[in-house]
């Protein structure tokens, strides 16, 4: 049996080019989850993890607005249409989730407890940099599941920094835990390309830049962005007009976190969007 210097079986077609196939043959990657191709080139029916998309956040005159649609899917099946993807971590921090809800919700619980423990033992709030790195570490620790295709989470983290220079802070991450601070807006999930396009347009050529918007104007843009994403992405719900289901929208500001009531979101949608 011919082998390459790295130990690849050269008699196996494409072995040197397909690392995931090598891991499956060695029993290090679950074929039941990844779903390898059969000999006739077809994809066998496999279990699909539940996933949640789409989320967005941007800075406006009142702080940071964070919004998420309500749909959770498994493949092409709608599992749930009232999922909460915008989670409160502490009095001034929000984690919005895109990806596998089971993993993301557990990360949110661990992060919330970590911040509580720090606050009670150190008698002070953890710094913003500490919070950001704590979430990054949770994502890095989860990378083994990401490689197996069962636990991908790509969150957004919004908080208010009340230290020497009070300001709203906004971060987005990749699945490996790298964090990036956003100056104006962020969006992740399957519908994020459409959302980012709308936010870019509004920020550069809209009536006002995003950071100058009032609360109702900011809510209307968030609703328009999610509704537009839903037109081209079946995993994004947008606004369900028939079921009267609206996205979850929260605002992070100096005063803390405000959850907008559904009645207010519906009124803005009716007056400024629909």
Residues belonging to the active site:
53
Tokens of 257: 């976190």
Angle between the 101-122 and 128-141 helix axes, to the nearest 10 degrees?
Answer: 140
Alpha helix stretches (DSSP H) within 92-176: 101-122, 128-141, 143-148
Tokens of 196: 């980012």
Q: Is 251 helix (H, G, I), strand (E, B) or coil?
A: strand
Q: Tell me if 182 sits within 8 A of 171, measured CB to CB.
A: yes
Q: Tell me if 49 sits within 8 A of 100, measured CB to CB.
A: yes
| The pairing of beta strand 55-60 with beta strand 179-181 | unpaired
Helix (H) / strand (E) containing 78: strand 77-80
Tokens of 269: 């949608």
Give the integer Cα–Cα distance in Å for 25 and 6.
Answer: 15
Question: Among candidates 176, 181, 132, 137, which has minimal Cα distance to 153?
Answer: 176
Q: Tell me if 243 sits within 8 A of 81, measured CB to CB.
A: yes
Question: What residues contact 82, with CB distance under 8 A and at least 6 apart?
Answer: 70, 245
Residue with tokens 């830049």: 209
Q: Tell me if 257 sits within 8 A of 64, measured CB to CB.
A: no
| Length of the chain in terms of residues written | 274
């Amino acid at each position: 049996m011919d082998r390459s210097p790295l130990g690849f079986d050269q008699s196996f077609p494409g072995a040197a080019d397909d690392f995931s196939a090598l891991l499956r043959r060695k029993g290090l990657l679950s074929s039941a989850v990844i779903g390898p191709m059969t000999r006739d080139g077809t994809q066998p029916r496999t279990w699909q993890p539940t996933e949640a998309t789409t989320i967005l956040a941007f800075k406006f005159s009142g702080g940071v607005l964070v919004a998420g649609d309500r749909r959770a899917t498994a493949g092409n099946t709608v599992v749930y249409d009232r999922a909460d993807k915008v989670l409160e971590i502490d009095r001034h921090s929000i984690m919005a989730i895109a990806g596998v809800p089971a993993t993301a919700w557990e990360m949110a619980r661990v992060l919330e407890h970590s911040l509580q423990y720090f606050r009670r033992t150190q008698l002070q709030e953890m710094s913003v940099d500490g919070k950001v790195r704590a979430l990054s570490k949770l994502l890095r620790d989860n990378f083994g599941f990401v490689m197996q295709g069962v636990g991908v989470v790509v969150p957004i983290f919004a908080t208010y920094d009340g230290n020497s220079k009070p300001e709203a802070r906004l971060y987005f991450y990749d699945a490996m835990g790298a964090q990036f601070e956003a100056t104006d807006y962020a969006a992740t999930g399957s519908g994020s390309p459409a959302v980012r396009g709308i936010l870019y347009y509004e920020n550069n050529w809209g009536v006002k830049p995003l950071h100058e918007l009032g609360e109702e104007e900011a809510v209307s843009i968030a609703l328009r962005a999610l509704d537009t994403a839903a037109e081209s992405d079946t995993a994004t719900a947008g606004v369900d007009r028939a079921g009267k289901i609206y996205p979850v929208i929260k605002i992070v500001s100096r005063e803390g976190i405000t959850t907008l009531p559904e009645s207010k979101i519906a009124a803005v949608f009716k007056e400024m969007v629909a």
